[in-house]
Every structure is written in C-alpha cells, then in structure tokens.
Chains A and B, each alone.
Chain A
Amino acid sequence: MNLEIHERARKLIGVARVEGIAVKDREWLDEHLAACSACSDEAEALASAIRSVALPVSVDPDVVRRTSQLVRKRAHQMQDDRARALPLWIAAATSVALMVVTTPYVWASFVWLSGVTQTQLVVWQLAFCMWWFMPVTVIGMAAAWRQANGRQI
C-alpha cells in the first residue's frame, strides 16, 4: 500500500466522525482498516479521543432546586408587573383613541378661540400641539416613574 492510500484513510476517518461519509467511502475505509493495523489504531485513537469528551458531569441538585425557585419567583413577579401595567395600557389606548376622535372638534375650538382672543396663528397652533402631546407625555412620565421604581411596563 502506498502513502496516498493511508493518507486517504486517515482523512476519511476524521471526516466520517465530523460530517459523515458516503456508503462507498465507508465500505472502502472498513476494508482498509481491516487490513491495516496502523490506520486501525489511528481510528481507535480518534474514537477514544471523542469518548474522552463525554465527561460524566451533572448539575448539583441544589443548584437545580435554587434555579427552579428563582425562575418561579421571577415568573410570578413578571406576571404581577404585567397585571399592574394593564390599567396604564388601557388608559393610554383610551387616551389616544379619544384624541384621534376629538381632534377635528378641538382644532375648530382652537380656531374659534384664536379669533375671539385675537391670538397670533403660531401661538394657538403651538397650544394645539401641546394639547395633542400632553396625554402621551403624561403617560410616558408615569411609565418612566414606574420603571424607576423597579416596575416593568
């Protein structure tokens, strides 16, 4: 047998372990390993190396128990946070819906008010913008306050 054959066998031994080889190559390799003790030893050494990776390790049951308790506690905490955040979300949604629905009327009111008070165009338009953003600002501030106090929105 020439060196190339052993080199091929050596390469196939590795490839077979890592990504698998074709049936034809497997047959050739098996035949070669049966006849060549050096390559057979090589295959066995690799198999042994791979077996060595499988260390008999397991988790300390105390760690598992503590983890389970911690996760359970955190899950309940998160569920509580979600329940507490619900009224805020409802308030936000209602506020936005009301804003959208009432915008034409409020706009008309601001136009009328500016006419009555002889206010400059830019002033009442600014006031209208402030009115529009006020609920969002208030809700945002409430959310920030809750987060600062360790509550998740």
Chain B
Amino acid sequence: MDAVISGFGNPMEQDNTRLAARLRERDPDVLDELIERFQHRLFRYLLSLTGDKSKAEDLFQETWLRVLERGHQYRPRWRFEVWLFSIARNLVIDMSRLKKGASLDQMMDTESGLGFDPAARQPSPLDETLAEEETKRMTQFLQQIPAAFREVLTLRFQEELPLEDVASVIGAPLSTVKSRLYRALEKLREVIEEKVV
C-alpha cells in the first residue's frame, strides 16, 4: 500500500481524509456515492478475475459490504480504488479457497480452462448489432488468457493504474507486475494471431 502514498496535504489527500472520516462513521450515503462512482470499474475487475458474471455480481455485493465493515481501516494516503481493488481481490482469493482445489495460482493455468463470460449490458438494438460481433471476437481472445494475466491487463490498460498501484493491488513486487504484464501481452498477441490465422 505504500506505493499509493501521495504527497502530504494535496487535494486528493484532503478529499480522502473526508472520505476516511465518513467511512469510519459508516455513513450509508458515502457508500452509495462510492458504489455509483466505482461500480463499473469494480465489476470489470471482478469479471477479469473470476471470468464469471454471476460470481462477479456476488463478489460485487460482498466487496461493498466489506468496504462498509472495514471502512475504519482505510487511510487517506491511499487511493481509494487501489484499496477497493485489494479488498475485491482478497474476496476472490477467499472464494477460491472455499472452492476445493481452486486458487488464483490455478487460475493462472491456461489448462484449467476457466472461461470468460462477459457481463450483461443493456445496449440499444443498434449498439447490440454493432458491438455483438466485436465483443464476441474479443471475448474469444480473452477466454484463453489466464485470470492472473487478465487481471494485470485490466488494471494496467483498462483501469489505467500506474504500475506501482497494480503492484499494491495484487500484493506483488513491481518486477513481478512488469514481467506478468509482458507475458500477458505476449499471450494476448499469440491468441489474437492464432485466431486471425
């Protein structure tokens, strides 16, 4: 978490100080605001980890309950989304431990064949027609990427988190994050090339 420490007295930290105070009070209004603001980012991240829409939805609820319960542990020097993603990740790990034999490490294994189910959305019929083919194609690519690779790809390129924040979320050294990203990109490229050919 140290990597997400920001400079003392900056506006972000002032906002986070107010946020931390409200989280300590377990103010339901602040939770509503946070859910509204981070819903899509959290869901995408959970989906990238689990590869399953209904699991991601369950974990989505669990994550916000955990935020409520552990709100007093949040520190203003942390970026909220990094803390949020860390909580979500721990819940996914807990869930994996509950399932006999499943773990995040095993989700790394492409042979385990964990699928990827894109979340339901409510597009217009036109959007649906236009996006359907592309989404289908992309989903096929992502189905073949291990969860741990999808995770770093999502955090770095979709959530656009700095590498240090990615390292904080996944609790790994920066060097591991970098090498995992390079391997993930390589894998993604291979998958795309295979599909194109």
Contact = CB atoms under 8 A, between A and B. Distances in A.
A57 interface: yes
Contacts of A53: 142, 150, 153-154, 157-158, 188
A56 B127 CA distance: 11
B35 interface: yes
Interface of A: 14, 17-19, 45-46, 48-50, 52-61, 63-64, 66-68, 70-72, 74-76, 78-79
B83 interface: no
Contact of A72 (B32, B44, B131, B181): B32
Given A70-B65, A75-B31, A52 B40 contact: no
Contacts of A68: 31-32, 35
Given A49-B192, A57-B119, A60-B57, A76 B65 contact: no
B68 interface: yes
12 contacts: A18-B178, A18-B181, A52-B138, A52-B141, A53-B188, A55-B138, A59-B60, A59-B119, A60-B120, A70-B64, A72-B31, A72-B32
A71 B60 contact: no
A62 to B, nearest CB: 9
Given A18-B181, A59-B40, A72 B28 contact: yes
B156 A18 contact: yes
A71 to B, nearest CB: 5
B110 interface: no
B146 to A, nearest CB: 14
A57 B45 CA distance: 10
Interface of B: 26-28, 31-32, 35-36, 39-40, 43-44, 47, 57, 60-61, 64-65, 68-69, 118-123, 131, 135, 138-139, 141-142, 150, 153-154, 156-158, 163, 178, 181-182, 185, 188-189, 192-193
Contacts, number: 115
Given A18-B185, A56-B121, 6 more contacts: A49-B188, A52-B188, A53-B142, A54-B158, A58-B119, A64-B39
A75 B68 contact: yes
A135 B50 CA distance: 50
A50 B178 CA distance: 15
A55 B138 CA distance: 7
Nearest to A59: B43
Contact of B31 (A19, A48, A55, A71): A71
Contacts of A56: 121, 123, 131, 135
